[in-house]
Structure 1
Amino acid sequence: MVRVLAVADEIVEQLWTAQVRSFDVDLVLAAGDLPFDYLAFLADALEKPLVFVPGNHDADLSGFSNVRGLWTRAGVPVRWPGPAGAVNADERVVDVAGLRIAGLGGSIRYNKGPNQWTERQQARRARRVSRLAAWRRLRDGRGVDVLLTHSPPRDCGDEPDAPHRGFECFRGLVSRLQPSVMLHGHIHPHGVPRPDRELGSTRVVNVVPQKLLDISGGRDET
């Protein structure tokens, strides 16, 4: 089992102090819309890896490349604006701390801000993640343990207003990947309980503002 601290959308003051060192975790997963220096602090204080996807209120992190520690964008050396030392899993499949994590950041498009996608655009990105996961599975027989997103699936913990509508394509992605858990942010509880939901065999968890979870890693698909 991998002990995970999952965070999203709302700062937990206790976590932005030395008290966070009392958390015995193996990995931090961040589902978007948190200050990058907050995430960097968590990774540094806990001395554990941190994997994140950007939310719709985060900076645009597209187009950055890292080769031997040098960040570039459009071929020009730049300063990485994301959290120091963290792994951006957006539109990727990564293996960290014994878990295979597929990631898709952003929300449904509702204005011209960054990290917003139409349903069609996100479906295209989801197909890429699905192909990457299939290639990994063919290579080593392992499936995806965690689907990490900013937004929830459509009609599975989302809200009826336009900015907080979930993605229909996530339902198909969950069906294809069949991860143990899907972790998302974006939907603020506002004092209302947000119970876990089920999509097939996948548990869908709203992690705003924080959740501690034990996740089984290394699922064998052969």
Structure 2
Amino acid sequence: MVRILAVADEVVESLTFGVGIDVRPDLILGAGDLPFDYLELLSDLCDAPCVYVPGNHDRDLRGYRRGRSGWTRAGLPSADPGPVGAINADGRTVTVAGVRICGLGGSVRYNGGPNQYTETQQRLRCLSLRARRPRIRPDILLTHSPARGVGDADDRAHRGFACFHPLVEHLRPKMMVHGHIHPHGTHPRDLVIGADTISMNVVGYCRFDFDPATGDHTIARRRYGA
């Protein structure tokens, strides 16, 4: 079992003091719209690697490249644009702590801000991710937004992406972990998308044990929002 701490959108101050982290996680997943120093703090506190995707309120991370000499943008040296030491999985597949993770950040376009995409733009990103992924079935699809009709909302800014449905059918991830939809005092249910993929809203945080071999998971602790 891999112990995973998944966080999104709302800072839970108690976590920064270790409250709620009864057992140190092996992996931290950031599903977007969190201060980068918060992810850095959690990673340091838990001594665990962090994999994240950007949300619609995060800075624009496009155009940055990491080479042997460090980070660059437009060919010029640059500081690490994201959480220091964390892995940006947006648009690619990474394997960390024995878990294969495909990532797609961003939300639907509603005001022209960074990390916002039209349905067509996100569909093209989905096709690119499909082309780059390994033949092995990924364990987790990490996104900022949910799929349309699977835990999303009806207002323009919080509609999910319809293109995530064919993506899930093609990738067949065991879990889809997302943020973006604030619970506002409710307890969002984990839902099924595709044949058997569990879609989980982790705004606030969710600490769960995950078996990459079977896809089975057990929730150890959860907080719906800050």
TM-score (norm 1): 0.93
CA contact 2:6–2:202 (8 Å) conserved in 1: yes
Following the alignment from structure 1 to structure 2, what is the Cα–Cα distance between the partners of residues 6 and 104? 15
Change (3 A) 1:20 1:194: closer
Q: Of 188, 197, 200, which residue of structure 2 is paired with 1:205?
A: 200
CA drift at 1:42: 0.7
Q: Aligned partners of 2:13, 2:116: CA distance in 1, in Å?
A: 28
1:38-187 superposed matches below 5 A: 38-68=38-68, 70-133=70-133, 136-137=134-135, 142-187=136-181
Distance 1:125 1:50 in 2: 22
Q: Which amino acid aligns with 1:111?
A: N
Letter in 1 for 2:138: V
Q: Distance in 2 between matches of 1:196 and 1:21?
A: 21
Does the aligned pair in 2 maintain the 1:20–1:42 contact within 8 Å?
Answer: no
- Over the aligned positions, Cα root-mean-square deviation in angstroms equals 1.5
Distance (Å, rounded) in 2 between the aligned partners of 1:166 and 1:217: 26
- State how far apart, in whole Å, the 2-side matches of 1:21 and 1:214 are: 13
What are structure 1's unaligned runs of at least 5 residues? none
| More helix by percentage | 1
Quote the Cα distance in structure 2 between the aligned partners of 1:14 and 1:182.
Answer: 25
| Alpha carbons 1:151, 1:186 under 8 Å: kept | yes
Which of 202, 208, 217 matches 2:212?
A: 217
Q: Secondary structure at the match of 1:3?
A: strand
Q: Which digits, 9 at most, give the CA deviation of each residue in 1:118-164, with x for residues without a partner?
A: 0000000011111122xx11xxxx21000000000000000000000
Kindly indicate whether the alpha-carbon contact (under 8 Å) linking 2:64 and 2:81 is maintained by their aligned counterparts in 1. no
Question: Identity percentage over the alignment?
Answer: 53
Matched residue pairs, number? 214
Q: Distance in 1 between matches of 2:213 and 2:54?
A: 25
Q: Deviations over 1:85-132 (max 9, x none)?
A: 000000010010001000000000001100000000000001111112
Q: Which stretch shifts more, 185-194 or 63-72?
A: 63-72
- Tell me the SS of whatever aligns to 1:204: strand
TM-score by length of structure 2 reads 0.91
Distance 1:175 1:18 in 2: 37
Counterpart of 2:5 in structure 1: which amino acid? L
